[in-house]
Structure 1
Amino acid sequence: MTDKGILIIGGGTWGCSVALELARRGFGKVKVLDASPFPSPIAAGNDLNKIAEESNEPRDDDVNDDYFWNKINQMAMHAWKHDSLFKPFYHPTGFIMAACGDDAYEHCLKYAKGEHAKLSPLQTAEEFRSTMPKGVLTGSFPGWRGFWKDGGAGWVFARGALKAMHAEAVELGVEFVCGPSQGKVESLLCSAANDAVLGARTADGQKHLADRTILAAGANSDLLLDFRKQLRPTAWTLAHLPLSAAEAEVYQKLPVLYGVDRGFFIEPDQEKHEIKLVDEHPGYLHMVPIDGRLRSVPFAREQIPKEAEARMRRFLRETMPQFEDREFSFARICWDADTVDRKFLIDVHPELANLVVAVGGSGNGFMTSPAIGVLVADTLQGKMDARLKRMLRWRPESAEDRDWWDTQDRFGAEGRLMDFQNVQDWTEIGATGY
């Protein structure tokens, strides 16, 4: 190693987690580049809250999928429950998983079968209403069936945790270079033989040299490196429902209500008294031609399609009809990058020396974020769990015949992915265009 240090491309959820863990382990000269001032308005972690759930104990005889999620969730939840930085942001309020359609309910049954924790079945509107204080769930829950996990799950205050990771990383000496000129990475810097990464070039023309470069730019990573179809930038839609202070008092300490083919909501934040709503669906792509082939390309927008708003209002009508017609105070689209199997991609690049990729959150990136820094640091130090290493590896063979429109075991919105290119009407909240 020389004294150029480590360069992290991406200052969002995973970039901050990696920077924090490297600093905690005593790595010197860690620099983070990001195109937006911190916290980035387009970072998935710059959000009110995210679902968090404890896992079963990982076992050697687990099938690979179970071992992967149990192991990584265990690592993450240990931090949410015990690490002094993360612990204040975890709220174990409980979790309800439910569905309306038969296929989605089969997904719930599979979830329940694999859970070692006690689950209470929910089959009627009265049973759903009983999970929360009187007057919260007033809907008729037509066709809803599911399970209530009263403990071992809840939510985390995402923006607070993101800021805390950043603050401790800075305190430990990490340098963040942010902004549309000095922080925006235009390209990787490669050796003359194109067999090694030497750092990155930013929009202001600066060359940032590094001994090791870590690409952790979320959905935008696909624009900087050929992932050979391993990543699919996919977007979801969210909105905030404002409450009065008196209403917010009633709506505290609620379990997360997650309808896998409808959407979810989490109790209101204490500062603005807003409930976050997400309409559940397989996702939106933004397919545009680049170099002769169609690719999904992220963009920022503080609006959601009118069709997404309609789905959210149906969700409210079925669960909390008292709010069905209330105006939203905020809305935006939120991007992540799906791998083919929805397992993360964290590995040393096999063909470009000095490059580590940390991508593929696949909709599970924030809850597991405390584990991501550990996994990347272990990768750099060559000591990752051997079984996890095989599942997290660079694996383009998995994407050779990739179907971009595969729903990847997600439900809602007529069971299909959608394309932003076909969206005609958008909400009027915070219009920014793209």
Structure 2
Amino acid sequence: MAPSPVTADSTILIIGAGTWGCSTALHLARRGYKYITVLDPYPVPSPIAAGNDINKISEHSGAEDWPDPDKDPQGFADHVCRENAITAWKNDPVFKPYYHETGFIVAAHTPSTIEHVKKHELYPSESVFEKLETAEDFHKTMPEGVLTGSFPGWKGWWKKDSAGWVHARKALVSAYEEAKRLGVNFLTGTPQGSVVCLQYENGDVIGAETADGQVHKADHTILAAGAGSDRLLDFKKQLRPTAWTLSHIQMSPEEAKLYKNLPVLFNVAKGFFMEPDEDKHELKICDEHPGYCNWVPDPNHPGEKRSIPFAKHQIPLEAEARARDFLRDTMPHLADRPFVFARICWDADTPDRCYLVDRHPDHPSLLLACGASGHGFMQMPAIGGLVADALEGKLHKTIQYAYRWRPETAANRDWKDTQDRYGGPNRMMDFQDIGENGWTNIPETSRV
């Protein structure tokens, strides 16, 4: 069975209005597709989406650093996506206002994590980084008074260009608004945007049903629901919904000026921060760890469990403690300042942390676009183009292979695999182990 031909008049249904769903809608609309509908149970930006954030790290390799497509198809695919994305961050008017090339410092503080950085984090090579050996070296990377900590055991590498941060929420909303302007129909909120199941006919997917009982039929359906994707389809264990934790500290207008245009500071086992946002003057602190799952009994597979995402504007107290430990190393003058906001955010990990962009082998009208694996946002301007290429059957053969449907990689999957992530207890954690009183109690405020 083959999918129906893809034409400008094809009806296209996108499930998910997060980072990848909005990017895909924008790219398809720019290519002239007329009948695109996007469904999501939350308004844009979704409170559960990882992309709903004041900032995200952005980094790209040098043009000379192209992996061999035959020897390293995943590296080649990721490089293409990264370079396409940085071109858009720098030039596309939808995304350009939200890209800040302020530089990037990657660091570690134990022998094993220092070795990890040397082997895996220095793009395109260590030669483009300035090495930081002492606390004074770290202090000098930012204005006096920003970094005041002793940086115990820390070693760092400072990349002064080709890296920085992006304002994630504003970029996401910008893509959403441009897609709407180009005619994309967004149905968001519950029940009208909440997909309860895919719709099948003769073994193929013909659309989806929402919680209000409406069946949305389409010639082609794109499943881009992030961590919620595996709720709608059996991915043969290729997706693991995984969550991370973030918190905000209120800064004064004067402090916000001092902290402006700073390089990102990221310790692979402690956490990271970027400059305060310009609207609320809030400084985001993330504690670094392998991630949390929310393991509950799987109603469809007796005796098994599955990780189910949920929205929460609090974080475990243990995450707060880790964030403050990061601050004590770097900015002890802020270590005891109260948090004004915190939340958990979700993504979906594939076993190899490589994206999944492919037509389903059994349902040819269903295209999968998920598995961002914790590093999908900086590719936001480009990923929709690759999804559109896959829809049109013209995705580069190496990228098609790297991002293919690959359940063989999930055979006997170890759900506790940390996937080369460090920090915290250096193991995967479970929200089910956090008691009712084990969460922060930050007063809720009205937020976008």
TM category (shorter chain) comes to: over 0.9
Output one character per residue of 1:19-43: Cα deviation in whole Å (capped at 9) or x when no partner.
Answer: 0000000011000000012221212
Could you tell me which amino acid in structure 1 is paired with residue 278 of structure 2? Answer: Q
Could you tell me which amino acid in structure 2 is paired with residue 169 of structure 1? Answer: A
Provide the residue aligned with 1:46 in structure 2. 52
* Mapped partners of 1:224, 1:12: distance in 2: 16
For the 8 Å contact 1:112–1:147, the answer to whether it is kept is no
* Mapped partners of 2:78, 2:138: distance in 1: 28
Q: 1:234 aligns with which of 242, 251, 255?
A: 242
Provide the residue aligned with 2:357 in structure 1. 346
Matched, 1:266 2:266: no
Provide the residue aligned with 2:375 in structure 1. 364
Provide the residue aligned with 1:225 in structure 2. 233
Shift of 1:84: 1.6
Q: Provide the TM-score with structure 2 as the length reference.
A: 0.94
Q: 2:43 aligns with which of 37, 44, 67?
A: 37
Partner of 1:367, secondary structure, is: helix
* Mapped partners of 2:145, 2:120: distance in 1: 29
Q: What does 1:156-235 align with in structure 2 at a 5 Å threshold?
A: 156-191=166-201, 193=202, 195-235=203-243
Name which of structure 1's ranges 245-254 and 49-58 shifts more when overlaid on structure 2: 49-58
* Mapped partners of 1:213, 1:45: distance in 2: 22
* Mapped partners of 2:168, 2:45: distance in 1: 11
Provide the residue aligned with 1:400 in structure 2. 411
Partner of 2:322, secondary structure, is: helix
* Mapped partners of 1:316, 1:260: distance in 2: 14
Provide the residue aligned with 1:317 in structure 2. 328
**1:36/1:114 Cα in 2 relative to 1: closer, same or farther (>3 Å)?**
closer
Shift of 1:312: 0.3
Name which of structure 1's ranges 61-70 and 405-414 shifts more when overlaid on structure 2: 61-70
Calculate percent identity across the aligned residue pairs.
56
**1:114/1:256 Cα in 2 relative to 1: closer, same or farther (>3 Å)?**
closer
Provide the residue aligned with 2:390 in structure 1. 379
CA RMSD of aligned residues (A): 1.5
For the 8 Å contact 1:303–1:431, the answer to whether it is kept is no
For the 8 Å contact 1:340–1:402, the answer to whether it is kept is yes
Matched, 1:82 2:91: yes
For the 8 Å contact 1:302–1:430, the answer to whether it is kept is no
Shift of 1:55: 1.5
* Mapped partners of 2:244, 2:390: distance in 1: 30
For the 8 Å contact 2:106–2:121, the answer to whether it is kept is no
Partner of 2:128, secondary structure, is: coil
For the 8 Å contact 2:60–2:123, the answer to whether it is kept is no
Segments of 5+ residues of structure 2 without an aligned counterpart are: none
Shift of 1:143: 0.9
Output one character per residue of 1:369-401: Cα deviation in whole Å (capped at 9) or x when no partner.
Answer: 111100110001111111111000000000011
Could you tell me which amino acid in structure 1 is paired with residue 440 of structure 2? Answer: T
Shift of 1:262: 0.2
Shift of 1:9: 0.2
Shift of 1:66: 2.9
Could you tell me which amino acid in structure 2 is paired with residue 20 of structure 1? Answer: L
Output one character per residue of 1:295-345: Cα deviation in whole Å (capped at 9) or x when no partner.
Answer: 111111000000000000000000000001100110000000000000100
Partner of 1:96, secondary structure, is: strand
Partner of 1:23, secondary structure, is: helix
Shift of 1:137: 0.3
Q: What does 1:271-286 align with in structure 2 at a 5 Å threshold?
A: 271-286=279-294
* Mapped partners of 2:121, 2:309: distance in 1: 34
**1:113/1:93 Cα in 2 relative to 1: closer, same or farther (>3 Å)?**
closer
Q: What does 1:110-129 align with in structure 2 at a 5 Å threshold?
A: 110-111=119-120, 114-116=123-125, 118-129=128-139
Matched, 1:14 2:20: yes
For the 8 Å contact 1:4–1:209, the answer to whether it is kept is no
* Mapped partners of 2:179, 2:90: distance in 1: 20
Length, aligned pairs only: 430
For the 8 Å contact 2:61–2:123, the answer to whether it is kept is no
Could you tell me which amino acid in structure 1 is paired with residue 188 of structure 2? Answer: C
* Mapped partners of 1:382, 1:304: distance in 2: 42
**1:113/1:206 Cα in 2 relative to 1: closer, same or farther (>3 Å)?**
closer
For the 8 Å contact 1:301–1:431, the answer to whether it is kept is no
Partner of 2:158, secondary structure, is: strand
Output one character per residue of 1:202-248: Cα deviation in whole Å (capped at 9) or x when no partner.
Answer: 00000000000000000000100000000000000000111000111
Shift of 1:414: 2.1
* Mapped partners of 1:241, 1:92: distance in 2: 23
* Mapped partners of 2:403, 2:74: distance in 1: 12
Matched, 1:95 2:104: yes
Partner of 2:364, secondary structure, is: coil
* Mapped partners of 1:170, 1:152: distance in 2: 31
Matched, 1:427 2:440: yes
Name which of structure 1's ranges 21-30 and 2-11 shifts more when overlaid on structure 2: 2-11
Could you tell me which amino acid in structure 2 is paired with residue 27 of structure 1? Answer: Y
Segments of 5+ residues of structure 1 without an aligned counterpart are: none
